[in-house]
């Protein structure tokens, strides 16, 4: 009860009204599910398990370790060691325990150690030793050791580290996603669990900063993939070919940190990125946090002399503008995306659209920050966004302090991308008052129009009143924004007429890459498919209407056919249809399984009787070249759609169209080609990229 009171205290009156309207129009199970969802969203963050490690201790007996030594290793792990045998032994032990899915070899770069390191072959099997006969320093010893490496990647590692589970595979996965990534570093953590470094910043005077030092390792700013000025020498991965091009570490620096900073600058000079991967975690047992001032001064002076021109032009004065410096966004425009929660892109079309837009904006080079109104770290979706390079603001701190965060960073926020009216109304006045950012609004559909159409069917007076409330709110938001995204040509006309201007512009609901022909031939396909999440009321109404008025005639004419109802959160009413042996109610399914259904079924039906906006299920079905039978509500708002899909609003016409099309293999074959033509014309990635570049520009349309 206390949690529920906390929730209600933090939800504005409009949200409470909306929730009780929901209670009046939904089943008891749906209402209970929604309450549980609110509690999950507003619950305080669970405290992370505190990570406390003690430094490795001397042992009386050291068990023999057997390291992997692949004939053709992908990675050569080069461990710099200088006495301190206990750390070396522990480092190797953790590598063996926590390195999976990657073929590797271990090379010991020994800086003339005089302890048990000299007899390492006695304690560790399958390591390669590169030993210096005199003290020469980190850079020189590592350069010599790399000469023995056979891997495609070089992983430099300090002996005073303890790698964590999956540390190396996460670095390699990131390297494989982008050819232009040259150097990658993990999240470095102190034994207490605090951040040691989440990438590094270089300042105009050549001084260095370990970003995030002593911060909470779960904070959002330390948990997204980003470019970094440099990666610390303690744990950095780079391509061997690039290492050879750069001749390894520059040996002139007295301080090892400057050797790695110099390497990063050399890599960027060759056109490669230096990137931070938070999913890879490495513990560092630091000797102390106090740098030798003289060594630091000498190294900084040398570094400054070498890179003076670059530093003066591209870098900020000491500790100024960390917001842009921490992820190398000095020359990027920043977009703040605001939505109800982190998009669950495999569950509903609206989320998939936002996900694709954000993905495209990152690819276009924007610095994207995402703020979900519930500030909940929903997984695996939050991690997916973070791996794209998007900082997702989550947790109780941002829930309570998002205004403070915004005001602190507002000078660097160029665009604000608001989603959905019930979310945008909370933020629109504040962001307009406190920033000069260009505001773009995407309502997903006209809510007032959807509820008005539902009222016409149900005659529920609450929906009529709610429709008018929505109309006032949506108009208020649209008047205050600079550009309005709509997916529907019909809604573009309605919006621009209501506003008496041309703010509303058409955007594609989905975007695709070019696809090869379908996996299954027409003769091999069977069954009828409906796709849609059942948190959206029009989908339940559509399936109920189809099952009660259309399906009986279809199964009579095509007795071998099944009806596949694919969508998350099926209501109790929808679940009852599974009692029919010809009907399958899937519940939530993965994108891979959904793709299989699209490829195996003959027809996708879209029997919507009310709604608004463009229906993503239409575009998705056309992309997979599966024949579509729809109502006019299902096809509305799409350009030229009548040339490709006929619509049927009467049950008898709908059922006849399905039956005739199901039996006509020549017509089905013809539709495959027509749909491919339509998708290539309106819904390809390059078209979305051009439109986003146009509207996320300084000019006001």
Q: 597-619: per-residue pLDDT in tens?
A: 999 999 999 999 998 877 888 99
Provide the domain count of the chain.
4
Q: Phi/psi class of residue 587: alpha, beta or left (left: φ > 0; alpha: ψ in -120 to 50)?
A: left
Same domain, 583 and 496: no
- The lowest-confidence range among 3-7, 119-123, 232-236 is 3-7
Domain assignment present for 55 = no
Same domain, 461 and 358: yes
Residue 672's CB is within 10 A of a number of other CB atoms, namely 18
Q: Which element (helix H / strand E) includes 175?
A: helix 167-177
Query: What percent of the chain has a predicted confidence (pLDDT) above 90?
Result: 75
Same domain, 489 and 608: no
pLDDT at 3 over 70: no
Mean pLDDT of 358-366: 96
Q: Helix, strand, or coil here: 50? A: coil
Is the Cβ–Cβ distance between 569 and 592 less than 8 Å?
no
d(CA 518, CA 226): 37
Same domain, 568 and 484: no
Mean pLDDT of 339-349: 91
pLDDT tens-place string over residues 390-439: 999 999 999 999 999 999 999 999 999 999 999 999 999 999 999 999 99
d(CA 17, CA 7): 14
Pairing of strands 124-125, 127-131: unpaired
pLDDT at 581 over 80: yes
Domain assignment present for 691 = no
Domain assignment present for 345 = yes
Is the Cβ–Cβ distance between 41 and 35 less than 8 Å?
no
Name the token pair of 388. 């794209």
Domain assignment present for 692 = no
Domain assignment present for 699 = no
Q: Which of 240, 93, 279, 267 is nearest to 155 (CA)?
A: 240
CATH number at residue 112: 3.90.550.10
Name the token pair of 119. 């007899």
527: containing domain = 522-683
Is the Cβ–Cβ distance between 641 and 534 less than 8 Å?
no
Residue 72 backbone phi and psi in degrees, to 5: -125, 75
Domain assignment present for 60 = no
| Residue 89 confidence (pLDDT) | 96
**Helix ranges, 240-348 (H):** 240-246, 256-269, 293-314, 322-325
Name the token pair of 179. 């050819």
Same domain, 471 and 564: no
Q: How far is CA 128 from CA 49, 237, 455, 478, 618, in A?
A: 36, 18, 75, 66, 59
| Residue 349 confidence (pLDDT) | 84
CATH number at residue 635: 3.40.50.2000
Query: What percent of the chain has a predicted confidence (pLDDT) above 70?
Result: 90
Domain assignment present for 259 = yes
- The lowest-confidence range among 277-286, 513-522, 624-633, 674-683 is 513-522
Q: Helix, strand, or coil here: 285? A: coil
d(CA 164, CA 168): 9
Using pLDDT thresholds of 50, 70 and 90, give the confidence band for residue 660: very high
Q: Helix, strand, or coil here: 597? A: helix
Same domain, 132 and 274: yes
Same domain, 258 and 276: yes
Domain assignment present for 58 = no
Same domain, 569 and 493: no
d(CA 534, CA 620): 17
d(CA 108, CA 650): 76
Instruction: Residue count of the chain, please give it.
Output: 701
Using pLDDT thresholds of 50, 70 and 90, give the confidence band for residue 208: very high
Same domain, 211 and 286: yes
| Residue 515 confidence (pLDDT) | 63
d(CA 357, CA 692): 8
Same domain, 306 and 343: no
Q: Cβ neighbours of residue 561 under 8 Å, at least 6 residues apart?
A: 526, 527, 528, 554, 555, 582, 662
- Please return the burial class of 300, using the count of CB atoms within 10 Å of its CB with bins 0-12, 13-18 and 19+: buried
Same domain, 537 and 627: yes
Domain end point (choices 506, 537, 564): 506
Residue 2's CB is within 10 A of a number of other CB atoms, namely 6
Name the token pair of 84. 């301190």
Q: Phi/psi class of residue 328: alpha, beta or left (left: φ > 0; alpha: ψ in -120 to 50)?
A: left
Domain end point (choices 308, 325, 342): 325
To which residue do tokens 């020549």 refer? 666
Same domain, 307 and 423: no
């Amino acid at each position: 009860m206390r949690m529920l009171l906390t929730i209600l205290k933090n939800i504005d009156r409009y949200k409470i009204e909306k929730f009780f309207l929901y209670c009046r129009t939904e089943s008891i199970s749906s209402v209970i599910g929604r309450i549980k969802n609110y509690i999950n969203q507003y619950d305080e963050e669970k405290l992370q398990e505190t990570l406390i490690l003690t430094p490795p201790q001397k042992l009386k007996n050291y068990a023999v370790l057997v390291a992997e030594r692949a004939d053709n290793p992908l990675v050569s792990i080069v461990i710099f060691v200088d006495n301190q045998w206990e750390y070396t032994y522990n480092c190797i032990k953790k590598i063996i325990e926590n390195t999976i899915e990657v073929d590797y070899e271990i090379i010991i770069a020994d800086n003339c150690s005089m302890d048990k390191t000299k007899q390492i072959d006695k304690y560790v099997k399958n390591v390669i030793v590169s030993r210096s006969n005199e003290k020469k320093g980190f850079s020189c010893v590592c350069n010599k050791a790399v000469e023995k490496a056979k891997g495609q990647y070089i992983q430099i590692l300090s002996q005073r580290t303890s790698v964590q589970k999956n540390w190396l595979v996460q670095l390699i996965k990131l390297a494989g996603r982008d050819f232009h990534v040259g150097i990658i570093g993990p999240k470095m953590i102190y034994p207490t669990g605090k951040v040691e470094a989440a990438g590094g910043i270089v300042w105009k005077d050549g001084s260095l900063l370990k970003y995030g030092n002593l911060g909470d390792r779960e904070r959002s700013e330390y948990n997204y993939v980003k470019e970094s000025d440099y990666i610390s020498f303690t744990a950095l991965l780079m391509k061997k070919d690039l290492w050879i091009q750069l001749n390894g570490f520059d040996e002139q620096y007295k301080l090892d940190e400057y050797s790695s900073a110099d390497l990063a600058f050399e890599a960027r000079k060759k056109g490669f990125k230096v990137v931070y991967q938070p999913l890879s975690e490495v513990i560092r047992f630091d000797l102390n946090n106090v740098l030798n001032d003289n060594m630091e001064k000498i190294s900084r002076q040398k570094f400054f002399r070498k890179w003076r021109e670059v530093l003066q032009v591209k870098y900020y004065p000491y500790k100024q503008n960390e917001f842009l410096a921490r992820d190398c966004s000095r020359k990027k425009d920043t977009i703040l995306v605001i939505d109800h929660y982190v998009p669950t892109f495999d569950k509903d079309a609206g989320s998939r659209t936002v996900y694709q837009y954000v993905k495209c904006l990152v690819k276009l080079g924007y610095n994207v920050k995402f703020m979900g109104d519930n500030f909940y770290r929903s997984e695996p979706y939050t991690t997916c966004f973070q791996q794209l390079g998007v900082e997702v603001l989550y947790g109780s701190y941002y829930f309570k302090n998002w205004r403070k965060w915004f005001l602190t960073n507002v000078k660097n926020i160029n665009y604000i991308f608001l989603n959905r009216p019930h979310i945008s109304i909370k933020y629109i006045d504040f962001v307009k008052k406190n920033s000069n950012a260009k505001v773009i609004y995407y309502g997903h559909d006209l809510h007032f129009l959807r509820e008005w159409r539902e009222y016409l069917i149900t005659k529920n007076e609450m929906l009529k009143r709610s429709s008018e409330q929505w109309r006032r709110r949506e108009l208020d938001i649209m008047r205050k924004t600079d550009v309005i995204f709509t997916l529907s040509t019909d809604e573009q006309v309605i919006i621009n007429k209501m506003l008496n201007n041309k703010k509303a512009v058409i955007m594609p609901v989905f975007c695709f890459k070019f696809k090869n022909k379908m996996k299954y031939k027409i003769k091999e396909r069977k069954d009828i498919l409906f796709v849609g999440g059942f948190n959206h009321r029009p989908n339940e109404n559509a399936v109920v209407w189809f099952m009660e008025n259309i399906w009986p005639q279809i199964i009579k004419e095509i007795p071998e056919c099944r009806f596949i109802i694919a969508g998350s959160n099926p209501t109790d009413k929808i679940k009852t249809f599974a009692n029919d042996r010809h009907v399958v109610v899937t519940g939530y399914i993965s994108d891979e399984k959904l793709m299989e259904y699209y490829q195996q079924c003959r027809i996708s039906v879209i029997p919507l009787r009310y709604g608004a906006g463009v229906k993503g299920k239409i575009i998705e079905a056309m992309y997979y070249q599966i024949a579509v039978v729809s109502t006019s509500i299902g096809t509305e708002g799409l350009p030229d759609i009548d040339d490709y899909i006929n619509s049927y609003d009467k049950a008898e016409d709908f059922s006849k169209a399905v039956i005739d099309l199901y039996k006509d293999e020549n017509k089905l074959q013809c539709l495959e080609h027509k749909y491919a033509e339509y998708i290539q014309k309106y819904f390809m990635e390059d078209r979305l990229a051009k439109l986003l570049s146009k509207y996320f520009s300084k000019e006001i349309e």
